Amino acid sequence: MAVELSEVDRLILDRWAEVMGLLEAHRTLQDRLDEQIQIVSDRVQRWARPLGFDVACSPRDSEIYAWRPSWYDKRKDLSRVELTVGGFSPIGFRKVDAPYPYVWVYTGNLEEFRVKEPERIALGQHFRAALGDGAREWEAHDVDDSNGPLGRYLMSYDSAHRARLLARPEALFTFCTEQFPVLFALADIIDAELQKLAR
């Protein structure tokens, strides 16, 4: 039995060489953008260090994350909590599937420090209690108390805006340095709760 081809299928077949060229260009561009995200992350690190934070990135996840040195364990090469600016690449870039860019507090790494899920859930609840009314600003629909208890999407950034962030390293750097202070403002609360957890 013959398969019915759609108009789009026929268009792809008619322009097969061009389509293959675009696919290769797409792969090459993603590799270059990985490098560009790393360069921007290095700049964000230089900006954040005087503010008391270290920075790293995961270009494939389109995330730049920060932490206070006191949260970091050198033996495990891991921070207990990560303050993340992510999703700044358009959907379809590497692993990006977030509908909008986001700022998030991730606590999932605490599992590596033998902090059980109920304790991580309680920690997320303590964060929100400490924030009081401000906690409402951190209640994105998919926050997860065991791994990412505080988060918000930046819904004013559509796909075209996200593509422009990647096209201009200066724009991505400005975006990150505008978003991280919102996360850094949570650091004292996180510090206090981590100290309680350590007792």
Picking from 41, 83, 88, 36, the residue whose alpha carbon sits closest to that of residue 62 is 88
pLDDT higher than threshold 80 for residue 169:
yes
> Do the domain assignments include residue 187?
yes
Picking from 55, 147, 140, the residue whose alpha carbon sits closest to that of residue 102 is 140
Question: Average pLDDT for residues 51-69, to the nearest whole number?
Answer: 96
Picking from 16, 140, 158, the residue whose alpha carbon sits closest to that of residue 84 is 140
> Do the domain assignments include residue 1?
no
The confidence band for 1, taking pLDDT boundaries of 50, 70 and 90, is low
> Do the domain assignments include residue 25?
yes
pLDDT at residue 103 in the model: 98
- Render the burial of 67-94: b for 16+ CB within 10 Å, e for the rest: bbeebeeeeeeebbbbbbbbbbbbeebe
Per-residue pLDDT tens over the stretch 5-55? 888 888 888 888 888 888 888 888 888 889 999 999 999 999 999 999 999
- Rounded to 5°, angle at Cα 35 from 31 and 38: 140
Number of domains in the chain: 1
Which domain range does residue 159 map to? 7-198
> Do the domain assignments include residue 141?
yes
Question: Average pLDDT for residues 53-82, to the nearest whole number?
Answer: 95
pLDDT at residue 12 in the model: 82
**Average pLDDT over the chain, rounded to whole?**
92
32-34-39-45 Cα dihedral, nearest 10 degrees = 170
User: Which pair of structure tokens corresponds to residue 48?
Assistant: 């954040």
> Do the domain assignments include residue 2?
no
First and final C-alpha spacing in the chain: 69
Q: What is the pTM of this model?
A: 0.89
| Residue 29 CA: distances (Å) to CA of 32, 86, 159, 175, 191 | 5, 19, 17, 21, 39
> Do the domain assignments include residue 166?
yes
